[in-house]
Amino acid sequence: MTSHLIATLPGDGIGPEVMDEARKVAAAAAAAFGFELKWRNFPFGAAYFLEHKIVLPPSALDDLAEAEALLLGAVGDPRVEPGPLEQELLLAIRFHFDQYLNLRPALSFPGVPTPTPLPKGRRLNAMVVRENTEDFYMGLGGQGHGRLENEFHTRRNLYNLDGHLTLHLNPKRLAAVSVGLMTHPAVARITYKAGQLARSRGETRLTVATKANAVPQLYGFWNEITRETLAAKFPELRPDYQNVDALCYLLPRQPTDFGVILCPNLFGDIISDLLSALAGGLGLAASGNIGDSLSMFEPVHGSAPALVGTGRANPIAAILSTAMMFHHLGETAAAEAINEAVTTYLTGASRPFELGGNDSTAASGDLIAAHLANL
C-alpha cells in the first residue's frame, strides 16, 4: 500500500481547528482510495514562541524536510507583535524550501452567494500565480534616527545576497526603510509557470498585475522580464498588464472575465484575499506553496483570532488545501473526490456559518468526510 508522510503545522488561532477537519477529510479520502497517511505534527506557533522564546528550534527545517508535504493551519497571534511569527515561521519555510510558486485558486461554488452576481451558469474560476520569494517580502531594512544602517544577508536557492545600505537624513528624523528586490531568474521562472498554467487551461490571455507607473524601478523591471519571457515561450498568450489599483476596480465588476493572474509577491497577497471574497469567502480559499523540494499547503486565510473557540471557522479552505496537496503527491483521484465532496456539501441543505448556515467547523468537516466515506 502506498504511504505518504505528511507534516502538519496547525499553528495559531483557528489553525488547529481547521487542521482537525482537514486531517479528518484527508483520512477519509485515503481510506476510500486505498493509501496510507502517516502524520508528523509540529507544535510551532505563538504558544511555542512564548514558552521557548524562539520561533523555530535549529533542527526544525531539517525535520520538516523529511515529510513529503507540509500542511499548515495559520500563524499569527494577538499576544505576539505582528512580524516575528509570520517572518520567522511562515515566510522562513517558504524561503528555505524555495517555494517560489504560490498557487491560489479562486473558485466559486454553485449555490454559494457571491457579492457580485455571476453570469448565469458561470463560475468564477481565476488563479492567482504569486511570486513567493522576493519583492517587499525579502525582510531587508529597518529603522534609524537620522542614519539608517542596514546589513543585508539573505539566502535564496537562486542566490545569496549580502551587503549593506546606509542612508542619512538631514535634519535627523526617525525613519524606516524596506527594500523590495526582484531578480531576473525569479521573475522569469514564475512567469514561465503562469504561462504553462494559462496554456494548460486553454486561455488566450494572461493578466499581469503591476504598478510600474509609480514604482518603475521594481515593477517596470517585473514588466520587462515577464513580457520578454512570455514573448519567447508563450507567443500565443496575450499579456494583459493591469496596474494593481485598476485590477482591484475591475475584478469586483467582472470577476468571471479573469483567468490566470500573475502577481508579484505583495500584490498577489492582496489580490488573493479580494478574489476569495468575490468567489464566496475567505474560508473557501486554498493555496499551495510549491517548490522543487518540500511544498506547503495552507488556507489563504490567517488565524482569525476573533473566531477561536466559536466553532464558526469555515474549514473548507484547509480541506481544499489537502486536495491541492493530494494533487501534488499524485493522488489525483483522492484530490478530485475531495473537491467533489466539498461541492456536494455546499449544494446540500446546510452550510458553514461563514456562508450563512449553522454548521460548526466540526460539523462541516464531518459532512464532507461522510460524502467521501459513501464513495
Task: Give the footprint of Mn ion on this chain (CB under 5 A).
Answer: 269
Which member of 129, 296, 313, 324 binds ligand NAD (CB under 6 A)? Answer: 313
Interaction of residue 368 with ligand NAD, rule CB under 6 A: no
Interaction of residue 306 with ligand NAD, rule CB under 6 A: yes
Nearer to Mn ion, 93 or 363 (CB): 93
* Cβ contact 209:263 at 8 Å: yes
Interaction of residue 359 with ligand NAD, rule CB under 6 A: no
Q: How far is the CB of 86 from ligand IPM (least distance, A)?
A: 4
| Residues touching ligand IPM, count (CB under 6 A) | 7
Nearer to ligand NAD, 280 or 283 (CB): 283
C-alpha pair distances (Å), 235 with each of 35, 202, 231, 363: 41, 13, 5, 48
**The three grid cell numbers given for residue 56, joined into one nine-digit string:** 523555530
Interaction of residue 304 with ligand NAD, rule CB under 6 A: yes
Q: Rounded distance, CA 17 to CA 309, Å?
A: 8
Nearer to ligand IPM, 142 or 357 (CB): 142
From the list ligand NAD, Mn ion, ligand IPM, none, pick the one residue 282 interacts with, judged by a Cβ distance below 5 to 8 Å according to partner type.
ligand NAD
Interaction of residue 90 with ligand IPM, rule CB under 6 A: yes
Instruction: Count Cβ atoms below 10 Å from residue 162 Cβ, excluding itself.
Output: 10
Sign of the dihedral through C-alpha 241, 246, 251, 253: negative
User: 87-116 mask for ligand NAD (x: CB under 6 A)?
Assistant: ---x--------------------------
Q: Rounded distance, CA 94 to CA 274, Å?
A: 22
Q: Rule CB under 6 A: which of 243-272 touch ligand IPM? A: 269
Nearer to Mn ion, 45 or 239 (CB): 45
Q: How many alpha carbons fall within 13 Å on the CB side of residue 40? A: 13
- Say if strands 69-74 and 296-299 run parallel, antiparallel, or are unpaired: parallel
C-alpha pair distances (Å), 284 with each of 30, 55, 63, 170, 354: 22, 28, 30, 50, 9
**Which amino acid, one-letter code, is at 135?**
D
Which member of 16, 105, 283, 365 binds ligand NAD (CB under 6 A)? Answer: 283
Q: Rounded distance, CA 199 to CA 195, Å?
A: 6
From the list Mn ion, ligand IPM, ligand NAD, none, pick the one residue 317 interacts with, judged by a Cβ distance below 5 to 8 Å according to partner type.
ligand NAD
**The three grid cell numbers given for residue 161, joined into one nine-digit string:** 545576497
From the list ligand NAD, Mn ion, ligand IPM, none, pick the one residue 296 interacts with, judged by a Cβ distance below 5 to 8 Å according to partner type.
none
Nearer to ligand NAD, 242 or 339 (CB): 339
**The three grid cell numbers given for residue 374, joined into one nine-digit string:** 459513501
Which member of 242, 295, 314, 339 binds ligand NAD (CB under 6 A)? Answer: 314
Residue nearest to ligand NAD (CB): 76
By C-alpha distance, which of 152, 141, 151, 217 is closest to 176? 141
Which member of 127, 129, 190, 307 binds ligand NAD (CB under 6 A)? Answer: 307
Which member of 300, 316, 337, 342 binds ligand IPM (CB under 6 A)? Answer: 300
Sign of the dihedral through C-alpha 295, 34, 30, 127: positive
Q: Rounded distance, CA 98 to CA 115, Å?
A: 35
**The three grid cell numbers given for residue 333, joined into one nine-digit string:** 483521484
- Give pairs for 228-235: CB < 8 Å, separation 24+: 228/188, 229/187, 229/188, 229/191, 229/192, 229/195, 230/191, 230/195, 230/206, 233/192, 233/195, 234/195, 234/198, 234/199, 234/206
Interaction of residue 317 with ligand NAD, rule CB under 6 A: yes
Q: How far is the CB of 137 from ligand IPM (least distance, A)?
A: 7
Name the site residues for ligand NAD (rule: CB under 6 A).
14, 18, 74-76, 82, 86, 90, 282-283, 298, 301-304, 306-307, 313-314, 317, 354
Name the site residues for ligand IPM (rule: CB under 6 A).
76, 86, 90-91, 269, 300, 302
